[in-house]
Amino acid sequence: MVEFLLRRAFISAITLALVSIIVFAGVRAIPGDPARVLAGAEADEAGLEEIREKYGLNDHLVVQYLRWVGHAVRGDLGVSIRTRQSVAQTVATKLPITIELTILSIVVALAIALPAGVVAAVRRNSGWDVFMSGLSLGGVSVPNFWLGIMLILLVSVRLGWLPASGYVPPWDDPIDNLRRMIMPALVLGTGLAAVLMRQTRNAMIEVLGADYIRTARAKGLAQRAVVVRHALRNSLIPVVTILGLQMGALMSGAVVTEQIFVVPGFGRLIVEAVFTRDYPLVQGVVLITASAYVLINLLVDVSYSVLNPRIRIGGGGGAAGA
């Protein structure tokens, strides 16, 4: 067990190191002189040289990389070119908004996927099952930004039930916060719900065929108790793993969803940073996103091995991130 955890942590550390090298190299690969970007268009050659000296751009690339990583580990991700605010601080103000959106969308996805998946598995091959898998296929295929636009068109423009955009912090007005977050959460949660529904169905079908379920039935337990207390609980483990692997898709989805519903979160920050060519901000944001993904999946793997001691050496995440 300890050996597995150490091995897994070691692999994650290597992954994080590679991630940082990729991000560093990526920003260096952007055409143009970074000193020029920092100094602005009107700086002369002497000014550029001063900037290069100040930010150590004349040093060897390895030295620059190590200095950057050294700072990053201590939480110093540099300063945004545009706002002159620290990148870490900018991210810290935007991140809670995206975390709220993500948690809400996971709640939405689970609220749809678990009951639907369970019913589809229990009534396997029924009309209900076929309908559910059709719905799930539709959920995977629908581009979520279009779904968002259609929801705004129907719910906000036509029916006028919910505001189409904007953000209100929950501590200012929790009700208004939810009214503005429910549509983005639904849009972001749709794809996840579709994936989780399939996973729940398949896991449930496998579990329902197991011996202990037959035992539980033989004891005379009611169908409901067997399904919920025995089968569903054991089906949840693979569902949690998939949830971890889907975090990347959720982060991608958040970028688009926040763009459509004008939610001032992390995803909007990325797009803004790219458009304003704010490279330190892009660099910091991408590094944080990738690191978060690695750490979340490390946590999922660790909790998985704690929940299920039979799994000592996991195969690692092999599923496609989309």
- The binding site for another protein (CB under 8 A) comprises 11, 14-15, 18-19, 22, 26, 29-31, 134, 137-138, 140-143, 145-146, 149-150, 152-153, 157, 248-249, 251-253, 255-256, 259-260, 270-271, 274-275, 277, 282, 286, 289-291, 293-294, 316-318, 320-322
The identity of residue 66, as a single letter, is L
167/293 with CB nearer another protein: 293
Q: With b meaning 16 or more CB within 10 Å and e meaning fewer, what string describes 234-263?
A: bbbebbebbbbbbbbbbbbbbbbbbbbbeb
- 252: tokens are 């991608």
Distance from C-alpha of 243 to C-alpha of 250, rounded to nearest angstrom: 10
- Inter-helix orientation angle 61-73/2-28, to 10°: 130
228/271 with CB nearer another protein: 271
Q: Smallest distance from the beta carbon of 86 to another protein, in angstroms?
A: 21
Q: Smallest distance from the beta carbon of 120 to another protein, in angstroms?
A: 16
The CB-side HSE value for 10 (13 A sphere, CA atoms) comes to: 6
95/225 with CB nearer another protein: 95
48/292 with CB nearer another protein: 292
Distance from C-alpha of 48 to C-alpha of 33, rounded to nearest angstrom: 9
226/281 with CB nearer another protein: 281
Q: Smallest distance from the beta carbon of 77 to another protein, in angstroms?
A: 16
Q: Smallest distance from the beta carbon of 69 to another protein, in angstroms?
A: 14
Q: Smallest distance from the beta carbon of 145 to another protein, in angstroms?
A: 6
Q: Smallest distance from the beta carbon of 154 to another protein, in angstroms?
A: 10
232/243 with CB nearer another protein: 243
Contact by Cβ (8 Å): 234, 207: yes
Contact by Cβ (8 Å): 240, 303: yes
Q: Which positions ≥6 away from 302 have C-beta within 8 Å?
A: 5, 8
In this structure, what DSSP letter does residue 318 have?
-
Q: How far are the Cα atoms of 91, 107, 135, 146 from residue 195, in angstroms, in the given order?
A: 29, 14, 11, 19
2/14 with CB nearer another protein: 14
Q: Smallest distance from the beta carbon of 261 to another protein, in angstroms?
A: 11
